[in-house]
């Protein structure tokens, strides 16, 4: 899981020798989808380098910031943020947003395109070979069912089992496989959106409802004498300050008139 991956990635200093043999780790493994979140609606004008630096300065355990591309390899407004520790990611998902360059951006779980199980026995979708209920085997080339593939005399004509097209049955470009993957991805997304995170909200943004005014409350509400005296003293001080200010303005006006004359 993500925690064990994080432990092996961060908390262990791998030795150079195993069993007397020297090993070199050329590159670190790819961060799995479970340790990534998605930021939506990021402007094309936003500098990804500046954005990454700002995110790393505000949040811990950030590994990389990547702008996703569509199937035509054009930039999109989706940005993926990879972490090397699950707690930092969970804290952000619980809040539901990230503050980047003093702007709040909504975040959600990153779900890559769903991987499809293709049975090597029947070429069916959605199950492993050991779960297959088909007794006969299916030829990977012509899609014909045979009892023994080793004795099968295939004609060498490529035919898809699902669509009947001139391609292999496990070709990911097959229209049936594409549709199956699309439906599976939508199902995963819908089930994820139904999960409710215990998002922390700022208490200062939750204002309590104001009590309804009533005549009885207005009549029975009395201010203490000390409070009344304090208010009166403050009002007198304000009035005196205003009077002094008006006198000063009047004197300045007189001096201005004298200078002009």
Report the distance separating Cα 12 and Cα 2, nearest Å. 15
Cα 210 to Cα 206, 207, 213: the distances in Å are: 12, 9, 9
Report the distance separating Cα 235 and Cα 141, nearest Å. 95
Residue 117 lies in a domain: no
User: Residue 145 belongs to what domain range?
Assistant: 129-194
Q: What pLDDT is recorded for position 49?
A: 93
Residue 213 lies in a domain: no
Residue 134 lies in a domain: yes
Number of domains in the chain: 2
Instruction: Identify which of 25, 29, 6, 5 has the alpha carbon closest to the alpha carbon of residue 15.
Output: 25
Comparing 72-81, 105-114, 185-194, 227-236, the range with the smallest average pLDDT is 185-194
Are 88 and 95 spatial neighbours (Cβ–Cβ below 8 Å)?
A: no
Residue 35 lies in a domain: yes
Q: Judge if 172 and 142 occupy the same domain.
A: yes
Q: What pLDDT is recorded for position 204?
A: 47
Residue 255 lies in a domain: no
Q: What pLDDT is recorded for position 242?
A: 75
Average pLDDT rounded to a whole number, residues 150-160:
86
Q: Judge if 24 and 98 occupy the same domain.
A: yes
């Amino acid at each position: 899981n993500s925690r064990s991956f994080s432990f092996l990635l961060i908390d262990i200093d791998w030795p150079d020798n195993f069993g007397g043999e020297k090993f070199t780790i050329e590159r670190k493994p790819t961060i799995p989808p479970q340790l990534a979140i998605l930021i939506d609606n990021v402007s094309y004008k936003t500098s990804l380098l500046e954005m990454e630096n700002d995110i790393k300065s505000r949040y811990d355990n950030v590994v990389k910031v990547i702008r996703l591309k569509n199937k035509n390899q054009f930039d999109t407004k989706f940005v993926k943020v990879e972490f090397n520790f699950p707690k930092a990611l969970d804290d952000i998902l619980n809040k539901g947003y990230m503050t980047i360059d003093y702007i709040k951006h909504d975040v959600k779980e990153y779900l890559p395109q769903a991987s499809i199980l293709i049975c090597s026995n029947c070429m069916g979708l959605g199950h492993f070979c050991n779960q297959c209920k088909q007794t006969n085997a299916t030829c990977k080339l012509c899609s014909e069912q045979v009892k023994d593939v080793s004795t099968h005399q295939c004609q060498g004509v490529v035919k898809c089992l699902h669509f009947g097209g001139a391609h292999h049955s496990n070709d990911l470009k097959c229209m049936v496989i594409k549709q199956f993957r699309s439906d599976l991805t939508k199902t995963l997304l819908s089930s994820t959106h139904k999960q409710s995170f215990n998002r922390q909200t700022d208490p200062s943004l939750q204002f309590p409802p104001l009590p309804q005014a009533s005549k009885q409350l207005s009549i029975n509400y009395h201010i203490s004498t000390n409070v009344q005296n304090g208010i009166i003293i403050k009002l007198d001080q304000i009035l005196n300050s205003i009077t002094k200010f008006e006198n000063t303005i009047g004197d300045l006006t007189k001096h201005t008139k004298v200078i002009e004359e």
